[in-house]
Structure 1
């Protein structure tokens, strides 16, 4: 990977390795969301995709996730302008898209993949799997500040 590539390389010009490296491993994108049909406002819930490993905050079946969860969004540089609004405000993909710097706890800055967890920026230990919550009850699990 090129040094500090995220500062100089547009997403469309990143290598696959660089693109994948932007993910900080927070697991927030794997939380189920509710979108208000009238306002377009997106609310995150603590209800996680069935494939999210709550301890590592990584997808347990990353390479085949789309086969198991057809509604899973496989993020690409070309989609950013259309989906950035529902990505968490701390997401590196969203930040790079908006021309903002990565936070100090992002492993590309801190040098450690544990910083995201140590700083409490991941979903580690506080999600509930979607198969344990009826979809009609997701509103009861909305997260106010994410």
Structure 2
């Protein structure tokens, strides 16, 4: 899959259905990322309900043309609070992940969507399905924090 920056070569067929998340190899774990870019969106959490809303206001490191962090390997030098999602911290962090996120879906015991690159065979499928934030974000430098609420986006249910 040459259009895919994530190495999905040599993985077992539908490995995510056969192994618990805690038993995945690093390559399998990384392959679960669908490349939507939504995890890099700034979120607002309702203090009363705990409900999390995604905004179109993206982390300054997100390149929304490819839905990838422009500094992934060294992102903590720029954004110390950026969370590295692992099987060990899903219980704490899955609730704020996008509803379509493979990590969240599997944590909740749900199947992956047909557009997921592991099923479709193409990294482009997440964009074709309209699930990604490709070319749909604004930079956090352009929008004051008190206006983020104006940029809330609805997620598919």
The TM-score normalised by the length of structure 2 is: 0.89
* Alignment of 1:52 onto 2:53: no
- Residue aligning to 1:39: 49
Of 113, 116, 123, which aligns to 2:126?
A: 116
- Residue aligning to 1:127: 137
Q: Map residues 1-146 of structure 1 onto 2, 5 A cutoff.
A: 1-146=11-156
The TM-score normalised by the length of structure 1 is: 0.96
Deviations 1:71-107 (A, max 9, x none): 1111011111111111111100011111211100000
* Alignment: residue pair count: 146
Structure (1/2) with the larger helix percentage: 1
RMSD: 1.0
Q: Point out where structure 1 has 5 or more consecutive residues left out of the alignment.
A: none
Q: Helix, strand or coil: the match of 1:47?
A: strand
Q: Point out where structure 2 has 5 or more consecutive residues left out of the alignment.
A: 1-10
Displaced runs of 4 or more, over 2 A: none
Deviations 1:18-63 (A, max 9, x none): 0000000000111100111121111111000011111100111111
Q: How much does 1:2 deviate? A: 2.2
